[in-house]
Chain A
């Protein structure tokens, strides 16, 4: 059953990796604005000149 010590340690290391990923996400301002990106992804950046003119 000694393997449990190893497994727990590994699982903790994996979990720490996710914690660091979260810290990175906060540091890179992903939590500063949780609304605008959801809207921004709806915009087409390569829109053609004519088609959206039709009412």
Chain B
């Protein structure tokens, strides 16, 4: 079934991607009821239609991806090179090649359908299998009939351009997660069987059946519990040991202590035939705690956050040698190499522009949307994206020495080493150990003069009951469901520790450009004589031909009319010109637009065409007969005042801007008198400022977007990257927030605070269980049967309690 067109003619949704169509949508000749927003979408539809794959549109409404504007050929040429293929392909023979690609655009059932039917579009593809949760596709193809490049080109033409980056080329460790399944399966198997064997003890029937069964069952349980101790529980011992080596005590330490005590006591009891032991509790504890780990892992397995700048850099670059063009790996670039960077390609290393006009889009680096013009002789920093013609550059610094890489190598990035992830659970765990050991010592002192056998029993019981199993389940289940709730609102957290930090935050620091301002939505004003509708359409027709962001922004603003353009010419960095219906239209910089004999405009234009918050595009029609200019003003996100007024009541706020202070008054008004506003901040300044706040004991949350915020994002206790398109690259951070959900940011923070309350409440609950058990243990009344009842009840009730309360909190905040 095809999607039906929307009733309102002005808001026609594109049949492919669902975006709003222009006023005169592009129609299909054979099926005029379908409208498309652009030629790209129409092309994809026609391709799918021709190959009988239109069921793509049946599984989800408007599943399509907006296809990028025309690409220059040769963009995927590097995929033909031997070194890249050797790194990408997981299997290779003359008849078959196999590889796994990461497709961040994958988002619905329709995507799965289309991607698994690639063989209908390219007969050389043997099979393609999707792993939706990981957003990966595994493709097998016949090298005799198609090539890697063709496969990737096909994917890109459908709107699923694979993310092939330096980082992807490394070894892909994929199998660590399976270990947990083995551990969990083994624990479940042993737990079930040990519980069955312990069942006669619960009913106290062993007495009648004779001691022989008891002994047999005991030995069998011991045999079954041994693999649980050695294999399933290995993770807890490892983590406790790692903590000890760093001279900290984490929650896994008391867990390991309790587990060891449980197993040893049970082993002695069974071997010395003193009783049935606690092996059912032991295996059960391990099983439940592994479930907690599994839940934790599942929540954020799908998100791959560990991207660094290498995920953004291209894999290969076109090297110019005496023999001609050659595709080489970026890692092999040396100082003095000549490279060619085409339209939409990223400059991989700091380099000097040798030939061509650079239009470098640094939006990933600085958040600034307007490209920066560069002329021959100027140095272009790595990370910028070239728009327009192909340019030749000479590398001045190797990739590993570049400006961005230097920024990245700042000590702040060794975050893995530092203990920001000091979670509540670990803090509580430390006191827990102290209290347990004190109590155990107390029982020894109390019973020693009275009853030696009782002393031994009470001492081990204390260690056994003190195992903080329920405690270890509280955080994964409470914050795990919180992460799921956030995920539904397009706020993705790296792990549950980030949720804790957000709940404890005291200061929130914002970057300005791209974070507070909306790069996509600039306000367009027109100055000077108003144009007729027809003239506007003529301008629109010309700017629609260009891929420059300002042109596209202008095209979206003006009434569209598919007027034919003749003699179109684009001078990169200068402007466009074209003839529409005999009317000469020139759009661009003042100097480009101005006809001879209009010096005043030329002078005005060359002074400032781009200042920090506004950009101007000049228009002249009919050789200067009518002219004016469009002013693009960056606007603040519309949700900003509401979000800020909510946040300023509860947090200290600060703004760090790389720009000058022209906007100071407006920001002051938005942020209130207490907020700290800092301008002209370099990436290092931002990083230092946050480090200073942390030294004063603040818990800092940084919200930024560009790569130049990356240092500050890492330095902060929690770094949140704000992004307009989730599939785009965003700098390394602890959380990613979709710009569309920015309005709910205040609600998110309040929700995390509630979740922390839930965690604390769950801690109290689990302490109650531990307290009851301890009370019994101190009196020497703790028996295997009490343990067998108390243990599953405490674990299950903590799981239920944590999950339900978080859901309740989510409902309260309407999340």
Contacts and interface: CB of A to CB of B under 8 A. Distances in A.
Interface of A: 1, 4-5, 8, 12, 15-16, 18-19, 22-23, 26-27, 31-36, 39-40, 42-44, 47, 49, 52-55
Contacts of A34: 133
Contact of A4 (B129, B185, B213): B213
Q: Which of B33, B182, B185 has the most CB of A within 10 A?
A: B185
List of 5 A-B pairs having minimum Cβ-Cβ separation, nearest first: A55-B2, A36-B132, A33-B131, A19-B189, A22-B185
A26 B181 CA distance: 7
Given A40-B116, A55-B2, A31 B131 contact: no
A23 B182 contact: yes
A42 B178 CA distance: 27
Contacts of B133: 33-36
Contacts of B112: 36, 39-40
A52 B55 contact: yes
A26 B133 CA distance: 17
A10 to B, nearest CB: 13
B131 A26 contact: no
A55 B4 contact: yes
A52 B186 contact: no
28 contacts: A4-B213, A5-B216, A8-B197, A15-B189, A15-B192, A16-B189, A19-B185, A19-B186, A22-B185, A23-B182, A26-B182, A26-B185, A27-B178, A31-B181, A33-B134, A34-B133, A35-B132, A36-B132, A36-B133, A43-B113, A43-B116, A44-B55, A49-B52, A52-B1, A53-B2, A54-B1, A55-B2, A55-B33
Contacts of B210: 1
A19 B209 CA distance: 30
B54 interface: yes
Interface residues on B, range: 20 to 34
Contacts of A18: 189
B220 A8 contact: yes
A4 B55 CA distance: 59
B754 to A, nearest CB: 29
Contact of A31 (B54, B55, B178): B178
Contacts of A55: 1-2, 4, 33
Contacts of A35: 132-133
A4 B209 CA distance: 11
A32 B131 contact: yes
Given A39-B132, A54-B1, A55-B1, 14 more contacts: A1-B209, A8-B216, A15-B193, A18-B189, A19-B185, A22-B189, A23-B182, A35-B133, A39-B109, A42-B59, A42-B109, A52-B58, A53-B2, A55-B4
Nearest to B190: A19
A55 B130 CA distance: 27
A15 B132 CA distance: 33
A36 B193 contact: no
Contact of A36 (B130, B178, B192): B130
Main secondary structure of the interface of B (DSSP, over half): helix
Contacts of A32: 131, 178
A36 B204 CA distance: 49
A55 B54 CA distance: 11
Given A12-B193, A42-B109, A26 B132 contact: no
A47 B77 CA distance: 36
Interface string B243-268: 00000000000000000000000000
Contacts of A49: 52
Contacts of A53: 2, 54
Contacts of B4: 55
A36 B33 CA distance: 33
Nearest to A36: B132
Nearest to B197: A8
Nearest to B33: A55
Contacts of B134: 33
Nearest to B111: A39
A24 B216 CA distance: 30
Contacts of B186: 19
Contacts of A15: 189, 192-193
Contacts of A40: 112, 116, 130
Nearest to A50: B52
Contacts of A1: 209-210, 213
Interface in B653-710: none
A55 B193 CA distance: 56
Nearest to B223: A12
Q: Which of A5, A27, A49, A52 has the most CB of B within 10 A?
A: A52
A12 B213 CA distance: 16
A26 to B, nearest CB: 5
Interface in B1-27: 1-2, 4
A43 B110 CA distance: 10
Interface string B218-241: 001000000000000000000000
A19 to B, nearest CB: 4
A46 B542 CA distance: 47
B804 to A, nearest CB: 24
Contacts of B189: 15-16, 18-19, 22
Contacts of A52: 1, 54-55, 58
Contacts of B55: 43-44, 47, 52
Contacts of B129: 36
A45 to B, nearest CB: 9
Contacts of A5: 216
A32 B197 CA distance: 33
Interface in B116-137: 116, 129-134
A36 B193 CA distance: 33
Nearest to B108: A39
Nearest to B55: A52
B131 A36 contact: yes
A27 B629 CA distance: 65
A21 B179 CA distance: 16
